[in-house]
Amino acid sequence: MHLLVVGLSHKTAPVEVRERLAFTPAILGPALARLRRYVLEGAVLSTCNRAEVYALVGHRSTGEDSVRRFIGDAHGVPTEQFAPYVYVRSQNDAVRHLFHVASGLDSMVLGEPQILGQVREAHERAAQAGTAQRVVEQLFRQAVTVGKRARTQTGIARRTVSVSHVAVMLARQIFGDLGPRTALIVGAGEMGAQTARALTQHGVTSLLVANRTPARSRRLSAALGGEWLPFERLDEALARADVVVVSTSARERVIDAEQVRHVMGGRPGRPLFIIDIGLPRNVASEVGDLVDVYVYDLDDLQAICDANLRERAQEAEKVRRLIDDEVEKFARWWQALEVVPTIGALRAQAEGIRAAEVQRALAKLGHLSERDRRVVQALSGAIVNKLLHTPITRLKEHDEGRLYSVVLRELFGLATDAAEPGWGAAAYGPVDAPEGAPAERPPSAARPGA
């Protein structure tokens, strides 16, 4: 079997592509409900900078195709339209990639703290949907542990800044002192709240909050000493603002060119600075063409983040060494898991032989007491366990465990499709079946590691 990650990120795809393939809350639930029609196990990690599917599949090439098809089907986008932007990693490389992501090494802002919570949430959502089982469950549990270790045992997160902080840094570059400026936060979710707090920490005293859910606007504005406005009064809020930070979960644009053109007509000579950190983007691209209006999106924040990357390069190297150790740890777990069916088959065969021979011997020794019979049973069991202990231990620990497993099956005549309950292709059912098509299990998927 193969562990894959198929995805795209700020490193490979522009924001206009990422927004088309974002697994927003409205899309994620139904997508997870359908994910096991495409793969054995899986989880979806979707943030403002990435959309990735981690999956256990029975066959590398068909599995990769299935995951691409899953992404396209979930968004109604043909796979050929996003194929140039997609990366694929498998086995240890997929494990290492997720550990990098959870540690903040693959983020736009190196070491940023939000991604670890997003990895944890992706794990929880997959677990609730029943798509994260034995392998993906272990992968994400270990990724969260790695992310925590990276932040507590190295300086990768020390004095780090999130995307929201970078947005505020950009505003300071434009306006200098933010004290006399009015800031508007459109969207009172986690990213909006983080940005609002960052603005107040950098001197903003006049803060407006507009959100589709009034209760959230009230709570955020009250916590920061700001003013909330109903979403229906967004034009009024735009007219009062100098800096606008937009971060909503809406798939449609919440600020359009005609709306801003009307607002700017009533404030000649006053520039409007808009940072759109939503994905999909919340501000129509035409807004940036208007006079005295400056729009920045996630891709525009990359230059500041690159400087952040250089400053933390030394700590990042410490994290990479930590990750190398953790990848090796996962590889050992995976290797042991791969040989479990062989171990189970070997034990079952040995136990069958032992039980049959003991039964035959006891039939000839009919005069034995019950105590003597138990002694014979225990003796035979101890002999089998001692004989199997060393080969089983080496099978688990050797770097060529998979090869040893094949040889062992050949030497002892073990069935090639034997597997413990809960593991192996038989435990998952159809593998890599196209949506709506009859499912067929590839011949190589009958055993782990095929």
Q: Which residues are catalytic?
A: 48
**What secondary structure letter does DSSP report for 432?**
S
> How many residues are given for the chain?
450
Helices (H), 45-91: 60-75, 79-82
Cα angle, residue 92 at apex, residues 86 and 93 outer, rounded to 5°: 30
Structure tokens at 175: 């306006």
- Give CA–CA dist 203/211, Å, rounded: 23
- Give CA–CA dist 374/81, Å, rounded: 69
Of 274, 16, 288, 306, give the one whose Cα is nearest residue 167: 274
- Dihedral angle, C-alpha 42, 51, 33, 65, nearest 10 °: -60
Beta bridge partners of 208: 184, 227
- Give CA–CA dist 315/308, Å, rounded: 12
Is 278 in contact with 248 (CB distance < 8 Å)? yes
- What are residue 249's phi and psi, to 5 degrees? -95, 10
Cα angle, residue 56 at apex, residues 35 and 420 outer, rounded to 5°: 115
